[in-house]
Amino acid sequence: MNANQIKLIPRDFLRVDQPEHPFTINGPDILLSDKRNLIALFYPSAEELKSKTKLMTRLIGSKIAYHATTVMVLFLDPSLRISFEQQKAAQFFDQIIQERDLPQLGQFFKEKKTLTGIQDHKQQQAVIFDLQAKAQLKNLDYIEKIGFQHKAVAPLNVAVKKNVYYNKITAKFEKSRANIFESQNQAIIGFKNLQKSKSDLAELEPFYEFSLRTQFEIDKGVPYFDKIQAKILSVNDKPVSRYDPLKPIRMASLFGWQISNINNTAELNDHIAQSL
């Protein structure tokens, strides 16, 4: 979206560009509010135009985090080519618009979602965030006690690396971006040595994305945990974020990752037993 297109967005609403949210890594590009409701506007990056997975991962994360009444709007510039069928995006977004529609964005505040859809969305969010709260308490308790004595973590030979995983968004098998393994009892185990050369959030993002793409579904616009599976993330240090120190832990908990610092089979089995 260029500067001229952004100028077409109505100015009589509250607007936030690149909004931060405690439970998203990459959320909508713009938020609009009439002081009662929200419109979340997405415009795809060059990478997202080529990848349905990238765009839908960002949307699913936003649907989990933002209020159920938020209208999710995708802006597509007709001059740019999108690599997947637009009707596929329509299964996820509430509205898909072009440049000519930008001046009328405010009309979506008047188009209310169905009461049943909102109730279903709220119910699923309650389930997701109840799991998040429990996981976060467990993670914070563990971090307080262990002190990350292992300054380097490495995969253990009791687990098999998941070189590919089934992506529910594309319904295809894809290569894993993260160092993720699966034990014989089907627990998922991730290993990451945080280098501190970039943000911990960025370093852990592939693990968050793994959960979004393999364990969440969207049904009639509502996100839900389709597969709750024990997941252990072994790191060499406490992950933090500069302006929101707890965010990496909060996000890991949201996606069901149990933070750990392990380097032997006994420690791994202990964590798996606590997760199941």
Alpha helix (H) ranges present in the chain? 3-7, 46-50, 52-65, 86-90, 115-146, 200-215, 247-254, 265-275
Which pLDDT does position 244 carry in this prediction?
94
Give the tokens for residue 258. 């149990």
pLDDT band at 84 (very low <50, low <70, confident <90, very high): low
Amino acid at 83: S
Which pLDDT does position 228 carry in this prediction?
75
pTM, rounded to two decimals? 0.91
pLDDT, one tens digit per residue, over 120-131 is 999 999 999 999
pLDDT band at 270 (very low <50, low <70, confident <90, very high): confident
Write the DSSP symbol of residue 225.
E
Q: Are residues 154 and 250 in the same domain?
A: yes
Which pLDDT does position 83 carry in this prediction?
67
**Final residue before a domain boundary, out of 52, 84, 113:** 113
DSSP code string of 64-92: HHS-TT-EEEEE--TTS--SS-HHHHHTT
pLDDT band at 146 (very low <50, low <70, confident <90, very high): confident
Q: Are residues 96 and 231 in the same domain?
A: no
Nearest to 56 by CA among 169, 164, 168: 169
How far apart CA 145 and CA 143 sit, in angstroms, is 5
**Final residue before a domain boundary, out of 91, 113, 135:** 113
pLDDT band at 226 (very low <50, low <70, confident <90, very high): confident
CB count within 10 Å of CB 22 equals 11
Q: What percent of the chain has pLDDT over 70?
A: 95
Which pLDDT does position 185 carry in this prediction?
63
Total domains in the chain come to 2
Query: For residue 267, with 0-12 CB atoms within 10 Å meaning exposed, 13-18 middle and 19 or more buried, which class applies?
Result: middle
Higher pLDDT, 90 or 271: 271
CATH number at residue 103: 3.40.1350
Q: Are residues 139 and 81 in the same domain?
A: no
Q: Are residues 139 and 169 in the same domain?
A: yes
Give the tokens for residue 260. 């750990």
Distances (CA, A) of 110 to 74, 119, 122, 125, 191: 17, 18, 20, 24, 47
Residues β-bridged to residue 180: 190
Q: Are residues 99 and 137 in the same domain?
A: no
Domain with 148 in it: 127-275
Q: Are residues 134 and 259 in the same domain?
A: yes
Q: Are residues 221 and 86 in the same domain?
A: no
**Final residue before a domain boundary, out of 113, 145, 178:** 113
Which pLDDT does position 205 carry in this prediction?
95
